[in-house]
Amino acid sequence: MPCFSAEDINNQVQIPASGSVRHPLMRVNLAKITRNAEIVAGLCRRAGMGVMGVTKAFCAEPAIARAMIRGGLDWLGDSRIQNIARLKEAGIETPICLLRLPMISEAREVAALADMSLVSEVETAKALSEAAASQGRTHKITLMVDLGDLREGLLPQNILQAAKIINEMPGVELYGLGVNFACYGGVIPTTEKLEALLALAEDIRRQTGLPLPIVSGGNSASLYLAPGGIPNGVTNLRIGEAILLGRETSYRKVIEGAFTDTFTLECEIIELQKKPSLPDGLIGTNAFGQKPVFVDKGIRKRAILAIGRHDVIIDGLVPVDPKAEIIGASSDHLLMDVTEVERPLSVGSLMEFNVQYGSLISAMMSPYVTKIIG
Ligand SMILES: *Cc1c(COP(=O)(O)O)cnc(C)c1O
């Protein structure tokens, strides 16, 4: 599904006949996002690093990107060129890096719109070089090295040769060396891994004479190392989740002082009744082809909310009311056990959820979820 333009997102704040705002509804708290960005930027600054704020989880909605920038970031990054186009169209002047390795077929667009990209193929660098040179531009390249996570990046023994070849290309400037962790292999970044990154950066500097100002030590999973565990010379982290949801992602600890409730999803109760906890009848498969398992808890008070798997990824929804429990979901319905919830509920009441990363992305992309950004 494509991301939506600013107009699309604003158009989703439609007023139904009842006069209230349509649900499900995602409230985005910009002040909390700015505060989180400030905290993360401060933590990184003390470790000698700048921060690239990553905007892909919210389709690069410019108002949210600006809230991040206000926290003191020196770069933005996004994995999709459409999102970078959106940020540029909105007049954002902070330089922007393409995070997913560019497709050769989009090289012209990347050279025209992005200030830098992460690259692991000499062929791709060549395409960017030709595109940028023909446009009279200089496109920055951060070369990616794989230090064990086995997603993108050249193996360490192949880095130097690639760097030398790219350094000879017109239209591109070899500007950084970067690494990614905790994505495919789940490899946790460590001080030793970052020292290996620094040693490679030094090799490239020695052999090419380039200053290589960016040494990018990973994503939100590297943040747990800051400030003490980041070796001197790592100059950048690429941070999305920690700014948006307030946690580092290696051990999922809350960053001191950061907000984890920056995004709140509100959903409406459409049925509220007492029902048995065991289904009655021969049990086949549910709407998603799985055979469900049930525990008999007797008669329970159950709420059905008007949100389902077609709207968002349900697995990352966390009820704000600690006594409410998600017991299941189908395409259009979310089933909750609300027996223990103390506040009075009725049909038409709203229930709130905080979101984990998957739910955040899916809600921000979903045309069925109204966004209120403020
Ligand atoms: C998405 C992405 C990031 C940001 O990851 P978070 O875990 O959200 O901080 C960093 N680097 C690359 C290459 C990415 O694709």
Concerning whether 32 is annotated as a catalytic residue, the answer is no
- 19-23, 113-117, 231-235, 251-255: which range is least confident on average? 19-23
Q: State the pLDDT at residue 287.
A: 82
pLDDT at 7 over 80: no
Query: According to the 3-state scheme, what is the secondary structure of 10-44?
Result: HHCCCCCCCCCCCCCEEEECHHHHHHHHHHHHHHH
Q: State the pLDDT at residue 3.
A: 46
Helix (H) or strand (E) holding 127: helix 122-134
The residue to mutate among 68, 81, 96, 99, having the most atoms of ligand 1 within 8 angstroms of its beta carbon, is: 99
State pTM to two decimals.
0.94
Q: Among residues 32, 56, 140, 193, which one is catalytic?
A: 56
The mean predicted confidence, pLDDT, of the chain is 95
| Spacing, Cα 294 to ligand 1 middle (Å) | 38
Please report the atom of ligand 1 found closest to the CA of residue 237: 10
The residue to mutate among 119, 219, 263, 364, having the most atoms of ligand 1 within 8 angstroms of its beta carbon, is: 219
Ligand 1, atom 13, lies closest to the CA of 99
Please report the atom of ligand 1 found closest to the CA of residue 242: 9
Please report the atom of ligand 1 found closest to the CA of residue 183: 7
Ligand 1, atom 7, lies closest to the CA of 220
The number of beta carbons lying within 10 Å of the beta carbon of residue 353 is 27
| pLDDT band, very low/low/confident/very high, at 140 (cuts 50, 70, 90) | very high
CB-ligand 1 contact for 139 (6 Å cutoff): no
Q: State the pLDDT at residue 10.
A: 46
| Spacing, Cα 246 to ligand 1 middle (Å) | 15
Please report the atom of ligand 1 found closest to the CA of residue 57: 8
Cβ neighbourhood burial of 214 (10 Å; 0-12, 13-18, 19+): buried
Give CA–CA dist 353/261, Å, rounded: 9
